[in-house]
Structure 1
Amino acid sequence: MNCRTSLSSWQALTTSSERLKKQHLKTLFDSDSGRFDKFSRHIPGVLFDFSKQLIDDSTFEQLVSLAKESDLAAWRDKMFAGEKINFTEDRAVLHVALRNRANTPILVDGTNVTEQVQSELEKMKGFSERVRSGEWQGYTGKSVKDVVAIGVGGSNLGPQMVTEALSAYADNTLNVHYVSNVDGVQLAQVLKKVEAETTLFVISSKTFTTSETMNNARSSVNWFLESAQDKSAIAKHFVAVSTNLEKTREFGIADENVFTMWDWVGGRFSLWSAIGLPIALYLGYDKFVEVLEGAFEVDEHFKTAEFEQNVPLIMALLSVWNTSFLGHTSQAILPYDQALHMLPAYLQQGEMESNGKHVTFDGQTVPYTTVPIIWGMTGINGQHAFYQCLHQGNVIVPADFIASVEPQVALGKHHDVLLSNFLAQTEAMMAGVNEEQVRNDLQSKGKSEEEINELVAHKIHKGNRPTTSIVLDKVDAKAVGRLIAMYEHKIFCQGIILSVCSFDQWGVELGKGLANNIEAELTEENVAYEHDSSTAGLIAYYKQKRNK
């Protein structure tokens, strides 16, 4: 059985968790002046400080032992070698091949996929340069001004997050707009901003059958044809990222304007592929390559660093420790850079879709929590929204705080104010404020003993809230690539350590299938499926109101 609870390291960690639950982070800092040096790591462009996590020397050693006992190194090597570690779908897991800047051969079923990737990158380069230079022209001979990227899930979140993160580096050659929601409001709002003769649509769907994406794509074509009045013009304004050439041809997209994907790339790990075409169009192909290069640097670190120094692995071990041993069921992602405002949503998909599983590798029920609820927002806004709960709530939420040394935009003392908040919050969450400190503070403000007694309990902060601080040199293209790759490898390590398959998503597929059946009931006559009374009642209510 693959359940990790039988491992000696797991059992040792269970004992350690009971001991450390009685410990306070402030005490750990008071008793060890070298704690920061001991529990922080550097990789190019990144400082990773995990000293404010509730661990000690022996616990860290036990966590590393857990990784070793889980055969993590062997699994890592299998992934990089192209072995089919996504065994429920019999697929390799090779998002790392998409940014393999060394161009070393990686074989899948005897085919060197590195050559395929390089060919597709060259195609992306040529296309993005033609569009950005104005060589690519629409049906009236005008160059492209706006790109509308249509996709959902991994076909949307990754490219949008990166373009938002790096918008300060855009040269205003093109505007990019994203449509992911099948709610017509989003598409309508985008189409109001663009002109048909100067707009390029990028439709991203591996199968070219995804309901939400294809509905948005068809509505976009209808809108476009109101101006163009000629179906042949579709070829000048619509391109696709897909593997289904039959469907893209039916849609009116020329084969040479279809960019391919592979079944060894999961959607949530696909921004490095042609799914990232909107990034190259918006920022320029060179910037897209810099994102790949940053990720490749982390790939090399992850492949070669000793476990004790391996940042993505340490990130995973801390998450397993907090979730499966200390019982903290959520984790906050708190970027103190406005550029990274979409990172929490992106990582929410990455981690929860990957590791939200209930059985081990061999199909046995998992007796521990496999994934925390991932949520968050930019730190400054969060401070005025939910940090009250993080500081004094009766739940403990481990948090990743992310900031940069150099701002994208230098404006007075803004960045110093931003970073002072970043630093203060993690210190406050670690140390808290005890009763004695509260009493002394209130006395210094002239409060009476009676007033102090009324207030003291309300103003105590217990602290002991674990945080990790990730400090980037600057949020540039390489830094974004590094950061995403760190979390990707963290997700992989979590899955291996917890013995769950991180690279399928059968829960997503279940919802899609049911939605297709219900869509037919809502839009066609004499179609009915069996449902529970609630679902049947809701369908009937909707149809009755809609038909009126």
Structure 2
Amino acid sequence: AREARAARERMDALHAALADGPVTDVVSVGIGGSDLGPRLAVDALRDFHDGRFRVHFLTNMDGSAAQHLLQRLDPARTAGILVSKSFGTQETLLNGGILRDWLGGSDRLFAVSANTGRAEAFGIAPARVLPMWDWVGGRYSLWSAVGFALQLAIGRKAFAQLLDGAALMDRHVREAPVAHNLAAWHGLFAVWNRNALGAATQAVLPYDERLALLPSYLQQLVMESLGKSVRADGSPVPVSTVPVLWGGAGTNVQHSFFQALHQGTDPVPADFIGVIRPAHGHEENHRALMANLLAQAEALANGAVHEDPHRHHAGGRPSTLMLLDELTPASLGALLAMYEHSVYVQAVLWGINAFDQWGVELGKKIAGELLPAMSGQSQPSDPITRALVAEIRARR
């Protein structure tokens, strides 16, 4: 707790120093858990931005992302935050190098990392490095200094409200009996859908455009945490574990994949999320939005009998509907914390470790071995990869 309070104080001090200067735009450079949580929250809480900073995100190592973002900004009025626990993440260092060169140096670069030495070697002074501890997994790190970009967007008070909302859910999960425990019920439903009903996928369907990035955030939280086939003790898991999680914002998605949800051969459990009181005054739009939200959940559950088999809807397709009174920093914090706790419930029931990701590490390792091959300095050992590298190099 003392370390966390000290980190918050340093965040506040750096925030104040930036606010006193000429910077108007901040580029947050990270990937995975160093990007998805802050990006979601900055977008979801756009109605709470205090207007002092415009926050942008740079994640993919594809150089076109950096090119298109930086051409819209002024280097004299831009700062950057590099977020990487190890400060060895390839995507972050590549994009950070582009940003550093574009800024003309590292004086307006900040870092969030557990490796101060590497950040300093990159040119970022220790005074501008916020801590990220080894015991904080990236996909669970929004509440830490990884949320610095979010704090710059919404201000210190609103960021504190986000943390308060998460803490409220933490207390609920810790103290409420299972029969009244939101995260326990959510986790139990998820395991039931996967193992009893055999559902191989799970849809997340927020009926609020501000939550459009929630499915992407939850893809990492859920699938990276629960995508395991062995238990924590190394023995095989005897049942199926994580489903493929996907989704999008309603009502847009009603016109893309909802046909398959209603009449496809494989039932897809769904989480519907709605917001009762919007942050706009377009009441007719919101009434229609909420009517569509409720209608879709009802249609999946009840179906519709019709003598024409093409118009028959079997129903019996499971969904969970969650309603927020409003989308605020506190309610978003509570919602995301509930999903975190649900993941832990599922991990306990399956006996797996929700806090490693060796599958991700394998891909990184092979990519590192292949990088010299892309410039002709070595030959891949795998024959198919070797042929593909040769084809790529021949076409450059």
TM-score grouping bracket, smaller chain normalisation: over 0.9
Contact 1:333-1:377 at 8 Å conserved across structures: yes
Matches within 5 A, 1:214-225: 214-225=93-104
Which amino acid letter does the alignment assign opposite residue 269 of structure 2?
P
Q: Find out whether 1:165 has 2:8 as its counterpart.
A: no
Q: Is the 8 A contact 1:205 1:241 kept in 2?
A: yes
Residues in 2 aligned to 1:367 and 1:534: alpha-carbon distance in whole angstroms: 33
Letter in 2 for 1:518: L
Q: CA deviation at 1:198?
A: 0.5
After superposition, what is the alpha-carbon deviation per residue over 1:310-353, rounded to whole angstroms, capped at 9, x for unaligned? Answer: 11011000000000111011100000011100000000100000
Count how many residue pairs are aligned between Structure 1 and Structure 2: 396
Q: What fraction of aligned residue pairs are identical, expressed as a percent? A: 39
For the residues of structure 1 that align with 2:230 and 2:83, how far apart are their CA atoms?
Answer: 31
- Out of 384, 388, 396, the residue aligned to residue 538 of structure 1 is 388
Per the alignment, residue 5 of structure 2 pairs with: 118
Q: State how 1:382-461 maps to structure 2 within 5 Å.
A: 382-435=253-306, 456-461=308-313
Q: Deviations over 1:465-513 (max 9, x none)?
A: 1010000010110010000000000000100001111110011111111
Measured in 2, the distance between the counterparts of 1:527 and 1:366 equals 39
Are positions 1:465 and 2:344 aligned together?
no
Q: Deviations over 1:515-545 (max 9, x none)?
A: 111112213x5323411x2211111111111
Q: Is the 8 A contact 1:129 1:284 kept in 2?
A: no
The alpha carbon displacement at 1:246 in A equals: 1.7
1:348-382 deviation line (CA, Å, top 9, x unaligned)? 10000000000112211112111111000002011
What is the CA–CA distance in structure 2 between the aligned matches of 1:508 and 1:285, rounded to whole Å? 34
Partner of 2:377: 526
Q: Which structure 2 segments of 5+ residues have no match?
A: none
Distance 2:204 2:167 in 1: 23
Q: How does 1:81-160 map to 2 (within 5 A)?
A: 114-132=1-19, 135=20, 137=21, 143-160=22-39
What code does the residue aligned with 2:13 have?
A: G
CA distance in 2, matches of 1:361, 1:481: 29
Task: Pick from 156, 174, 185 the counterpart of residue 303 of structure 1.
Answer: 174
Superposed CA deviations along residues 95-128 of structure 1, whole A, max 9, x for unmatched, are xxxxxxxxxxxxxxxxxxx100000011111211
Q: CA deviation at 1:240?
A: 0.4
Partners of 1:204 and 1:526 lie apart in 2 by 31
Whole-Å separation in 2 of the counterparts to 1:526 and 1:377: 43
What is the TM-score with the length of structure 2 in the denominator? 0.98
TM-score, length-normalised on structure 1?
Answer: 0.71
1:185 to 41, 64, 67: 64
Find out whether 1:501 has 2:388 as its counterpart.
no
Secondary structure in 1 aligned to 2:202? strand
| CA shift for structure 1 position 251 | 1.5
Off by >4 Å, runs of 4+ in structure 1: none
Q: What SS does structure 1 have at the residue aligned with 2:333?
A: helix
* Alignment match of 2:241 (pick from 358, 370, 391): 370
1:264-283, aligned counterparts within 5 Å?
264-283=135-154
CA RMSD of aligned residues (A): 1.0
CA–CA separation in structure 2 for the residues paired with 1:372 and 1:527: 38
Give the distance between the partners of 1:302 and 1:521, measured in 2 at CA: 50
| Structure 2 SS opposite 1:284 | helix
Conservation of the 8 A alpha-carbon contact between 2:26 and 2:81: yes
**Conservation of the 8 A alpha-carbon contact between 1:131 and 1:281:** no
Contact 1:307 1:313 in 2 (8 A): yes
Q: Is the 8 A contact 2:379 2:386 kept in 1?
A: no
**Partner of residue 453, structure 1:** none
Q: Unaligned 5+ residue runs, structure 1?
A: 1-113, 138-142, 226-230, 440-455
Q: What residue is the counterpart of 2:333 in the other structure?
A: 481
> Secondary structure of 1:379's match?
coil
Secondary structure of 1:172's aligned partner: coil
Give the aligned partner of residue 81 of structure 2.
202
Counterpart residue type for residue 24 of structure 2 = K
C-alpha separation in 1, matches of 2:46 and 2:16: 18
Distance 1:192 1:345 in 2: 26
One-letter identity of the residue aligned with 1:187: A
